[in-house]
Amino acid sequence: MRDLMQKQKNVYRQQFENRARLLIKCPDQPGIVAAVSNFLYEYNANIVESSQHSSDPDNGTFFLRMEFELPQLIEVRTRMEEAFLTIAEQFNMEYSFRYVSELKKTAIFVSKEPHCLLELLWEYQSGDMMVDIVMVISNHEDTREIVEALDIPFYYIPANKDIREQVEQQQIQMLKDHQIDVIVLARYMQILTPNFVAQFPSQIINIHHSFLPAFIGARPYERAYARGVKLIGATCHYVTNDLDEGPIIEQDINRVSHRDSVEDLKKIGRNIERSVLARGLKWHIEDRVIVEKNKTVLF
């Protein structure tokens, strides 16, 4: 299995070794797209996808995502990035170049419930989600066999509120040692401390089993049932220090009725959770998300 997935990654890297993405956020003003397009043209780059958004054309923020092919990208990328500084300074840009062949190193955190983890592993195994899953960390042993069957390292690290800071120091060190790019909380039922969150800004993705901002916090299905809701949902969002209030990446819903028990709601909800988390992670690894304060622009 490891050999098959490694082969898929190698084929992907080779296929997209000359492809990159440029993400830009800056004050809105005339000439931004023209300047960027002309810059890429001068390097003989072919723009294969371009998306833009302005929060307010008169006095707002401009967002741009360009994906492009550039022959011998590896040889010219450093020179290209250095040359782009002139345009970035002219338009006061926050920007980043992302290289498609560089798969994002990913760590998945999970507790007992495996449904979100299983969805991510299936997408990974089938080659439909091109990431490099470096490790799975859990405060329970329940999913070890599932993970290790795919030759992915599994780390059992007990965690609770009494030893949280000690545990997080160990986790942070592991994540930094492996140069992790994105952390996925696939129903990891622990609240992260501000120190942990601060180490990985806009890199921690969570799935909350509710259509936020409704039913923030614990036991949302029980509270939804008590309220008699007719729709339940799930929300994939970046983690901040405000519980379940980080920038939203993806959401979905399903209709329910008075006939559904709490257990029915949970069963329906699990299907929503796993698909929403998988889509949200895909948007992130494809560099389709730009965070702006407590919102996201999704291309």
What tens digit of pLDDT does each residue of 131-190 get? 999 999 999 999 999 999 999 999 999 988 889 889 999 999 999 999 999 999 999 999
Q: Give all strands of the β-sheet with 94-99 in edge-to-edge order.
A: 46-54, 61-69, 19-27, 94-99
Top CATH class, 17-99: alpha beta
Alpha helices by DSSP H, the chain? 2-15, 32-42, 73-91, 115-126, 144-148, 164-177, 194-199, 220-227, 262-285
Contact call for residues 24 and 32 (beta carbons, < 8 A)? yes
- Residue 22, amino acid: L
pTM of the model: 0.95
Q: Do domains 17-99 and 105-298 have the same CATH topology?
A: no
CA–CA separation, 290 vs 24, rounded Å? Answer: 8
Distance CA 150, CA 125 (A): 8
Catalytic hit among 244, 260, 264, 287: 244
Query: Domain 105-298 classified CATH 3.40.50.300?
Result: no
CA pair distance 36, 29, nearest whole angstrom: 13
Catalytic residue flag (residue 244): yes
Q: What is the pLDDT of residues 236-271, one digit of tens each?
A: 999 999 988 999 999 999 999 999 999 999 999 999
Proportion of the chain above pLDDT 90, given as a percent:
90
pLDDT band at 1 (very low <50, low <70, confident <90, very high): low
Instruction: Kindly tell me if the per-residue pLDDT of 197 is higher than 90.
Output: yes
Q: How far is CA 128 from the centre of its chain?
A: 15
Distances (CA, A) of 152 to 3, 56, 114, 136, 148: 12, 46, 15, 7, 5
Return the structure tokens found at 262.
């709490």
Which residues share a beta bridge with 64?
A: 24, 52
Interval 75-131: pLDDT, tens = 999 999 999 999 999 999 999 999 999 999 999 999 999 999 999 999 999 999 999
CA angle 209, 210, 214 (to 5 degrees): 150
**Could you give the dihedral angle defined by the CA atoms of residues 123, 127, 128 and 131, in that order, rounded to the nearest 10 degrees?**
80
CB within 8 Å of 185: residues ≥ 6 apart: 109, 204, 205, 206, 207, 239
State how far the Cα of 243 lies from the Cα of 217, in Å rounded to an integer. 7
pLDDT value at residue 6: 87
Domain boundaries, the chain: 17-99, 105-298
